[in-house]
Copies of this chain bind each other. A is one copy, B any other.
Amino acid sequence: MGRRSDHSREEIRQLALGAAEAIVAEGGFKALTARKVAAAIGYTVGTLYLVFENLDDLVFQLNGRTLDQLYQRMLDEKRHSYSGKKALYALATAYIDYAEAESPRWNMLLEYVAGKDEVMPDWYLEKLGQVFGLVEETLASTVGNQDDKTISQAARVLWASVHGICILKIRQRLDLAGGQSTGEMACMLIDNFVEGMSR
């Protein structure tokens, strides 16, 4: 109808993202459609396009909230103040548990493939940086006296690796033989990597 002003733009944005999360949790990425999100919040498609540039934009913002949750879970785990390798295990476990519990949503983090020279928005890179920062701190306090640059690079290598294990497991590209759990694989990675770094 006409102007109702039941909700502000920002409220509609939040409602839509919430509804989208529920839809994805229920039916995975392919279940997410503009009309479904609109219907779930009691509006119509047109309204969504006042608040989001397009569906990709909505997905991107949803991914932002996923990264926030991921960061929060890892931060909570770090609060338990383990030290050394145990702290890295804890971070990896938090990451993996989230990925397995919320797998459709976590999967969506990689769904969007940027074009050749498109670049991620700054706010998104910042959220990614937070997660890596956490790993960096923990790694720094685990392997002694290495320079900052090495630590920062190693943290990225290590976390990309944890991520890789997670992805192949969850997307079932890794079942063949072995039969280890994701957690066990991550431990093996951390053990050897940290051992190697501390020579």
**Taking beta carbons and an 8 Å cutoff, which residues of A are in contact with B?**
28-29, 107, 109-110, 113-115, 119-120, 125, 128-129, 132, 149, 152-154, 156-157, 160-169, 171-178, 180, 185, 188-189, 191-197, 199
Number of copies: 2
Query: How far, in whole Å, are A171 and B163 apart by their CA atoms in the complex?
Result: 13
Which residues of chain B are within 8 angstroms of A132 by Cβ–Cβ distance? 176
Which residues of chain B are within 8 angstroms of A161 by Cβ–Cβ distance? 160-161, 164-165, 189
Q: Is the CB of A168 within 8 A of B176?
A: no
Q: Is the CB of B125 within 8 A of A176?
A: yes
Q: In chain B, what residue has the closest Cβ to A194?
A: B196
Q: Is the CB of A129 within 8 A of B176?
A: yes
Set B162, B192, B195, B196: member contacting A164, Cβ < 8 A: B162
- Nearest-neighbour CB distance to chain B for A135, whole angstroms, equals 12
Which residues of chain B are within 8 angstroms of A160 by Cβ–Cβ distance? 161, 164-165, 167-169, 174, 185
- Nearest-neighbour CB distance to chain B for A128, whole angstroms, equals 6
